[in-house]
A and B are shown apart, each in its own frame.
Chain A
């Protein structure tokens, strides 16, 4: 289990402030955020590469804040994988075993890990430079897992791969999780990666944790405007200036909420008169593969709705339609 308490660290002008996170044994925590949010700086600080100005890091109940990286019994897969170019595939994978003095059981562990990750046929390769992107990824994974780390740190692990290799590897990572149950600290800006791997999510914005919680909850129903914006939720509206069709929603707003978000798929559009709905004007309608994206003007406020391809057929620009949203679908957001 890893616990980060009140952690603050600076790098140049950038500062991570008051980070509190908890990752339980065998679980996967994904730190999600836009580029420049401080995710990698947080990762490096927790791994021991940077000294925090304040705060503590506990690993399995022991404070390790001032421990050097090599004393933490962790493993790391960076974004660029950083395989050692002067070593063979076999030596790359067993590198950590020799460092940690476990070379006695190296052959058995190597066989087991290579078998699990489907890279046995690569063990005789002398140059890692000749491996494909996916093969390199699996070798990096084997190198990290063979040392049986207390925590496995992953920094955007699949960002450099093409779509089909990414999907194969995500499946492999899930299978590896089921088989080995490692504790994983994942840093990513990719929602697919997070949905496949994470149990919990922390959204980081501008050096602070904006929101934490179980991944399905945070990703599906964020509670803060910053998290909602990062997750690319559409129709984020200030409660104090809701357009006419949704003005009634403000009456039931919780006291600590200042914004709402409406998912485009929750916005219902109808051409026939609906007294419970408000009138809006269609500005644009773009047909996608499975649905249409409709841009609406609600009293000067732009809204986005997703409707079925058939329903969108007669939505032309300039048409007046009726829009409504079920109140239980509204996301209440704190500024």
Chain B
């Protein structure tokens, strides 16, 4: 009979090597398995309830088409604009020392921590102030309008993008930028030719995560832009509207569409980034 522990296979502390290895494998596989099982069970429940053809059928409905168009447009604009702000902000946090940096760093994290509804309420309150009212009346109307959706999603995406990009810029050796400067690059050129290409995985991650948070947001969006049918009903808002009206099939079809869009974007971006390990 084969012994449970082969002789000679012991760790320095006396524990059997084979058992230690197997326990470690079990730990890793259990973690990955649990995470995957949960996601697959959720996807299977969607398909099980509405059927594989439900998203295609839903695509034929004009209000769902509107929700998809609006969601894609708002999330893309919000994540794109947020990235333009996040790049310099994250660069400043990663590269420079300045008074109150720790406080600034913590303040910028607030939208990640507080609930999206709280963000929406705060934005609403902002537009009740004198400068906010002036902006509403003279520049752009945000409350209960599409720009309000973009603003809410911008705030949510921005905080996340700054966090991801700060880590990405910290990974880029500042000496490489210095050497680029000595070789004739301006600060702009050093960032364009050295920093941004080297932070490319971080940039893509920031864009994808920001976009993902934006397209999936319900709380902040509904609070500032409301759920005006045919106007401000993004996909998450449309899901809740259908669910509340007991149109369960339509709600589930939208959930499946949202899942599908997210999956396609995540896979395409990973392929584009050349992240082979994924």
**Interface residues, chain A, CB within 8 Å of chain B?**
47, 49, 68-70, 73-76, 78, 80, 82, 84-86, 95-96, 99-100, 143-144, 147, 153
- Determine the distance from Cα of A335 to Cα of B186 in the docked complex, in whole angstroms: 45
Q: Can you list the 7 inter-chain pairs with the closest CB atoms, starting with the nearest?
A: A99-B184, A96-B183, A100-B184, A76-B182, A69-B181, A82-B179, A99-B185
**Looking at the complex, which of B12-20, B31-39, B170-178 is the stretch in contact with chain A?**
B170-178
| A75 near B182: Cβ-Cβ < 8 Å | yes
| B173 near A49: Cβ-Cβ < 8 Å | no
| A75 near B175: Cβ-Cβ < 8 Å | no
| B185 near A86: Cβ-Cβ < 8 Å | no
A-B contact pairs, 22 of them (CB 8 A): A49-B178, A49-B181, A69-B178, A69-B181, A69-B182, A70-B181, A70-B186, A70-B189, A75-B182, A76-B182, A78-B175, A80-B175, A82-B173, A82-B176, A82-B178, A84-B194, A86-B197, A86-B200, A96-B184, A99-B180, A99-B193, A144-B183
Known pairs A95-B180, A99-B185. 18 more at Cβ < 8 A? Answer: A49-B178, A70-B181, A70-B184, A70-B185, A70-B189, A73-B184, A78-B175, A78-B178, A82-B179, A84-B179, A85-B176, A86-B194, A95-B183, A99-B183, A99-B189, A100-B183, A143-B183, A147-B183
| A74 near B198: Cβ-Cβ < 8 Å | no
Kindly list chain B residues whose C-beta atoms are within 8 Å of the C-beta of A74: 182
Q: Which of B178, B181, B182, B198 contacts A86 (CB 8 A)?
A: B198
Chain A CB within 10 A, most for which of B176, B181, B194, B198: B181
Kindly list chain A residues whose C-beta atoms are within 8 Å of the C-beta of B183: 70, 75-76, 95-96, 99-100, 143-144, 147
Kindly list chain A residues whose C-beta atoms are within 8 Å of the C-beta of B181: 49, 68-70
**Interface residues, chain B, CB within 8 Å of chain A?**
173, 175-176, 178-186, 189, 193-194, 197-198, 200
- Determine the distance from Cα of A69 to Cα of B190 in the docked complex, in whole angstroms: 12
Shortest B138–chain A CB gap in Å is 40
Kindly list chain A residues whose C-beta atoms are within 8 Å of the C-beta of B185: 70, 99
Shortest A71–chain B CB gap in Å is 9
Shortest A59–chain B CB gap in Å is 13
Q: Which residue of B lies closest to A80 (CB)?
A: B175
Kindly list chain B residues whose C-beta atoms are within 8 Å of the C-beta of A69: 178, 181-182
- Determine the distance from Cα of A96 to Cα of B182 in the docked complex, in whole angstroms: 9
Shortest A193–chain B CB gap in Å is 20
- Determine the distance from Cα of A153 to Cα of B181 in the docked complex, in whole angstroms: 13
| B182 near A47: Cβ-Cβ < 8 Å | yes
Shortest A20–chain B CB gap in Å is 23
Shortest B122–chain A CB gap in Å is 40
- Determine the distance from Cα of A128 to Cα of B176 in the docked complex, in whole angstroms: 14
- Determine the distance from Cα of A166 to Cα of B169 in the docked complex, in whole angstroms: 33
Shortest A10–chain B CB gap in Å is 15
| B179 near A147: Cβ-Cβ < 8 Å | no
Kindly list chain A residues whose C-beta atoms are within 8 Å of the C-beta of B193: 95, 99
- Determine the distance from Cα of A68 to Cα of B178 in the docked complex, in whole angstroms: 11
Kindly list chain B residues whose C-beta atoms are within 8 Å of the C-beta of A147: 183-184
Q: Which residue of A lies closest to B182 (CB)?
A: A76
Kindly list chain A residues whose C-beta atoms are within 8 Å of the C-beta of B175: 78, 80, 82
Kindly list chain B residues whose C-beta atoms are within 8 Å of the C-beta of A70: 181-186, 189
Q: Which residue of A lies closest to B176 (CB)?
A: A82
Shortest B239–chain A CB gap in Å is 42
- Determine the distance from Cα of A84 to Cα of B190 in the docked complex, in whole angstroms: 11
Kindly list chain A residues whose C-beta atoms are within 8 Å of the C-beta of B184: 70, 73, 96, 99-100, 147
Kindly list chain A residues whose C-beta atoms are within 8 Å of the C-beta of B194: 84, 86
Chain B CB within 10 A, most for which of A49, A70, A147: A70
- Determine the distance from Cα of A317 to Cα of B42 in the docked complex, in whole angstroms: 86
Q: Which residue of B lies closest to A85 (CB)?
A: B198
- Determine the distance from Cα of A82 to Cα of B194 in the docked complex, in whole angstroms: 11
Shortest A32–chain B CB gap in Å is 22
- Determine the distance from Cα of A44 to Cα of B180 in the docked complex, in whole angstroms: 14
Kindly list chain A residues whose C-beta atoms are within 8 Å of the C-beta of B189: 70, 99
- Determine the distance from Cα of A153 to Cα of B179 in the docked complex, in whole angstroms: 11
Kindly list chain A residues whose C-beta atoms are within 8 Å of the C-beta of B200: 86
Shortest B34–chain A CB gap in Å is 37
Shortest B169–chain A CB gap in Å is 14
- Determine the distance from Cα of A144 to Cα of B183 in the docked complex, in whole angstroms: 8
Chain A CB within 10 A, most for which of B175, B182, B186, B198: B182
- Determine the distance from Cα of A94 to Cα of B129 in the docked complex, in whole angstroms: 55
- Determine the distance from Cα of A86 to Cα of B201 in the docked complex, in whole angstroms: 12
Q: Which residue of A lies closest to B197 (CB)?
A: A86
- Determine the distance from Cα of A49 to Cα of B193 in the docked complex, in whole angstroms: 19
Kindly list chain A residues whose C-beta atoms are within 8 Å of the C-beta of B198: 85-86
- Determine the distance from Cα of A137 to Cα of B181 in the docked complex, in whole angstroms: 19
Shortest A101–chain B CB gap in Å is 8
Kindly list chain B residues whose C-beta atoms are within 8 Å of the C-beta of A82: 173, 175-176, 178-179
Q: Which residue of A lies closest to B178 (CB)?
A: A49
Kindly list chain A residues whose C-beta atoms are within 8 Å of the C-beta of B179: 76, 78, 82, 84
Shortest A163–chain B CB gap in Å is 25
- Determine the distance from Cα of A68 to Cα of B185 in the docked complex, in whole angstroms: 10
Q: Which residue of A lies closest to B190 (CB)?
A: A70
Shortest A77–chain B CB gap in Å is 9
Kindly list chain A residues whose C-beta atoms are within 8 Å of the C-beta of B180: 84, 95, 99
- Determine the distance from Cα of A85 to Cα of B186 in the docked complex, in whole angstroms: 20
- Determine the distance from Cα of A82 to Cα of B186 in the docked complex, in whole angstroms: 18
Q: Which residue of B lies closest to A77 (CB)?
A: B179
Q: Which residue of A lies closest to B198 (CB)?
A: A86
Q: Which residue of B lies closest to A143 (CB)?
A: B183
- Determine the distance from Cα of A69 to Cα of B177 in the docked complex, in whole angstroms: 11
